[in-house]
Each structure stands twice: as structure tokens, then as C-alpha cells.
Amino acid sequence: MKRLIIIALAFAFNYGKAQDTLSFEKVVQWDANPVESQGNTGTCWSFSAASFLESELIRMGKGTHNLSEIFIARQVYINKAENYVRRHGKTQFGEGSLGHDLLNAVDMFGIVPNEVFNGLQMDTEKHNHAELASILEGFLKAIVTNKGGKLTPMWKAGYSSLLNVYLGEYPDNFQYKDKAYTPKSFAEELGISSQNYITLTSYSHQPFYANFILDIPDNWDNGRFYNVRLDEMVETAKKALKDGFTLDWDADVSNNGFNSAVGIALQSLKGEKPNFITTSKEMDVTQETRQINFDNYTVSDDHLMHIVGMANGIDGKNYFIVKNSWGDDRGLEEFKGHILVSEAYFRMNTISILLHKDALPKELKQKLNLEN
């Protein structure tokens, strides 16, 4: 009899655990191109923003296109080099940038399909910019410490030659779907313009509803952000997704709450590691706690991804469905290559979101003076 009771209790315990196993039900997931890998590069910003634009094109009825992330990265490498040299090396240089840098580069240079320019010069399927990044930085440091004093314009040609060798030459003209284009005419036909997009953030060290330059290392181009209250940023993101829009997301992922292998991100209680298998309690993230963690470097800008939908967890919480750029072999079976990000994690670790202006609630547009 005692043995039967023990077995019954064990069954009840395991059944309870099974009921608590973290699982998800999609609320909405919008069209996006397949998950890709950024390889060994620091170009997550280009992969996330290109994926975001690909979904924008689908949403706008422009069809499905595989845009070249490395074409844009190549152009931004040039812009960053000029910025670095003009500032005598006293600024950020590296592979990192932000979503608005892709949009600005499209305005300046246009864009091309990936089949026209994929940036792969060697017999490989994955990108690796480790050697290139080291060479570019070394080259620029030599330029700004030039003992001859004055610079000649030759450094730009030398720098571009390095990009040509490692990534390929800039395509001035190309054929795509039986039509001739330049990179700029292709962007114009697709209707891509940075003027249609806005970046939101939420920090109390700046006035709310102001438009300011967010001081983070990868904002080398001094991009401007609109500052809104935390609850407004979260609700704007949720409303946008419900209304058919997707988001480019800049976030911190260097913490024990982000698990790409499992495919879940949770905001753990202080000093604790989340249990990614069963439901677990999360921190109550306020405007104040968010600011404290940003100011003390607990939360920093280190990865960009593409938010494509929302899901409900068995724990009763809201989750964002986030398309990553680390390949399609990670995460939950139904969401391979994606991360299910809890609302609490989003509240704490979001640096900014980039979205179409039409996705903003009317009341927020009024507060930001964006009605026209």
C-alpha cells in the first residue's frame, strides 16, 4: 500500500511538472524571410535591419526580396572610416552599428539583392570578417597617426581596395528579374526611405518626448532617438505587431536571462538564473530599475534582432517572437532560429526599437509632434 502511495505521488508530481513546462501559443507572426547566419561578423545590425526591411516590403505589397546585408555593411564601413579619420581616431570604429545606419546607407547608396552582391569572396557559405576588421582598423590607425602630418586623398582608394578584396567590388549596375537597375534606382522602386521610420527609446536621463542623440558606443553617426515612457514603448511595440508591423530591436543579450540555445529570454530575479524549462518568476521592471541598470553598465547595446510576432506563454505572460541571425539550428522546434522574449526581459533590456511611423499610436504621434 505504501509503495502505491509513493508511485501515485510521483506521478502527480511529474504531471504537475509537465503542466508547468514552458510552452507557447502564437498570437501573431508576420511574414519574414528565412533565418540566416551573420557568421563570424559584428554585422547583426545589418542582418536585423535588412530582415526588417524585407518584411516591410512584404507588408507594403512589394513582394519577397532577399536584400544584401553585406552590400550595406560595405558602404557603412566607408562611412565609419571617414568619420574615424575626420575625428582623428577619437571615436568608435569596428563592425558594430545600428538599424538607422542601414536606412541612412540605403538613402545614400541604394541597395541590391543578395544574389547580386553577397560579400562572399572565398569558397564558403558563411561570412567571416575577423581578418578584414583587424586590417581595416590597423589601416585607419596608421592613417591618423601619419607622421607626415597632412593626409592625401589616396587613403580612401587604398581603404576601398581592401573592401574590394575581402567583400567584392561595388556593383554600379545589375540585372534583377529581367530589369536593369542601379543600387539607388532599385531602392527607389522598392520605396525604401529613412524618412518613413522612427527609433524609440526610454530613459529618464533625458526629457520624455524629446529627440536626442543616445550616447552608446555604436551610435557613431549620432543618430537621434525619440524618448518615450517605458510603458508607452512596450505598448507601442505590442500594438504595432498586432496591426501588422514588425520591429528592428536593439537589446542587451549578455546576461544569464538570454538563452539562444533554448530559444527563450527571461528577466531573472536579482542574483538568480532563470529556469528555461518550467515557468519561473521574473523581475518587476520599472522605469527606475531600467535606468539604474543602463547607467551602471548592466544593460548595454550589444545585439540587434528582428521582432516578427507575439506569443502567449503557458505561464500567462506575453512574449515577443524574435528572429535572430545566428542560424536556424537553435531554439524551440516550432521557432528554430528565433527567441521567445518575455515582456519583462524586453522592458529591461531594450535599448531601442525601430519601426514605421504609421505604426505609432495617434496619441504618441501628438506627443512627439509627428502628426504631419
What's the pLDDT band for 20 if we cut at 50, 70, 90?
low
For helices 183-190 and 99-109, the axis angle rounded to 10 degrees is 120
Average pLDDT over residues 192-199: 95
Coil, helix or strand at residue 120: coil
Provide the pLDDT for residue 372: 63
Query: What is the residue extent of each domain of the chain?
Result: 22-358
pLDDT tens, residue by residue, 318-345: 999 999 999 999 999 999 999 999 999 9
Provide the pLDDT for residue 123: 80
Q: Homologous superfamily of 22-358 in CATH?
A: Cysteine proteinases (3.90.70.10)
Specify the DSSP element, H or E, that contains 44: helix 44-59
d(CA 358, CA 114): 28
What's the pLDDT band for 13 if we cut at 50, 70, 90?
very low
Provide the pLDDT for residue 307: 98
**Would you list the DSSP string of 257-316?**
TEETTTTEE--PPTT----SSB--------HHHHHHHHHTTSS---EEEEEEEEEEETTS
**Is a pLDDT exceeding 90 seen at residue 215?**
yes
% of the chain with per-residue pLDDT over 90: 83
Average pLDDT over residues 266-286: 86
Provide the pLDDT for residue 100: 96
**Between the CA of residue 96 and those of 41, 217, 261, 303, what are the distances in Å?**
9, 9, 23, 9
Q: Which of 66-75, 108-117, 123-132, 351-360 has the lowest mean pLDDT?
A: 123-132
Indicate the average pLDDT of the chain. 91
Provide the pLDDT for residue 149: 73
What's the pLDDT band for 19 if we cut at 50, 70, 90?
very low
Q: Which of 148-157, 195-204, 309-318 has the lowest mean pLDDT?
A: 148-157
**Is a pLDDT exceeding 90 seen at residue 248?**
yes
pLDDT tens, residue by residue, 150-166: 888 899 999 999 999 99
d(CA 259, CA 261): 6
Average pLDDT over residues 93-99: 92
% of the chain with per-residue pLDDT over 70: 94
